[in-house]
Amino acid sequence: MGGILPFGCIFIQLFFILNSIWSSQVYYMFGFLFLVFIILLITCSETTILLCYFHLCAEDYHWWWRSFLTSGSTALYLFIYCVHYFFTKLDIKGGISTFLYFGYTFMFVFLFFLLTGTIGFMACFWFVRKIYSVVKVD
């Protein structure tokens, strides 16, 4: 569930990006896309830090992979949206074209998983280092 908030920040721009790739339309809002990317960075970071803090408060210190998977789960919602886009917006009939679409989609979703997972892990790593650096042991 940690990935639904970052996905909510990007799904409108995702429609325009998919239209420009698969419907031969021109994408020209690169400044706004950069702003949405910054919002994605902040949202992934804040969501992962918040969920990591909840686990640390419950004395569950296995946060390494959980922080990566929390923000990386945004890619699952991205894949679901791409499947929805394929069946509702595109008119692809052939098997080869369908294979190409889902092949490129899997590559894009995997890279997006690595990107958002790394963002979440690095933010959580910084947060845990920062929070435990102020703990004084006497």
- Helices 64-72 and 30-57 cross at an angle (nearest 10°) of 140
**H-helix or E-strand spanning residue 138:** none
- Which position has the higher pLDDT, 87 or 15? 87
pLDDT level of residue 138 (50, 70, 90 thresholds): low
**What's the rounded mean pLDDT across residues 49-53?**
91
The model's confidence at residue 31, banded by pLDDT at 50, 70 and 90, is confident
**C-beta contacts of 113-119 below 8 A and 24+ residues apart:** 113/72, 113/74, 113/75, 114/72, 116/3, 116/6, 116/40, 116/44, 116/71, 116/72, 116/74, 116/75, 117/68, 117/69, 117/71, 117/72, 118/68, 119/40, 119/41, 119/44, 119/45, 119/48, 119/71
Q: Which residue has the tokens 């369908």?
A: 98
What range defines the domain where residue 76 resides?
3-134
Higher-pLDDT residue of 107 and 65 is: 107
CB-CB contact of 124 with 52 (8 Å): yes
Q: What gap in Å lies between CA 43 and CA 36, rounded to an integer?
A: 10
| 33: three-class secondary structure by DSSP | helix
When divided into structural domains, the chain yields a total of 1
Mean residue pLDDT across the chain: 88
Question: What pLDDT does residue 15 have?
Answer: 84
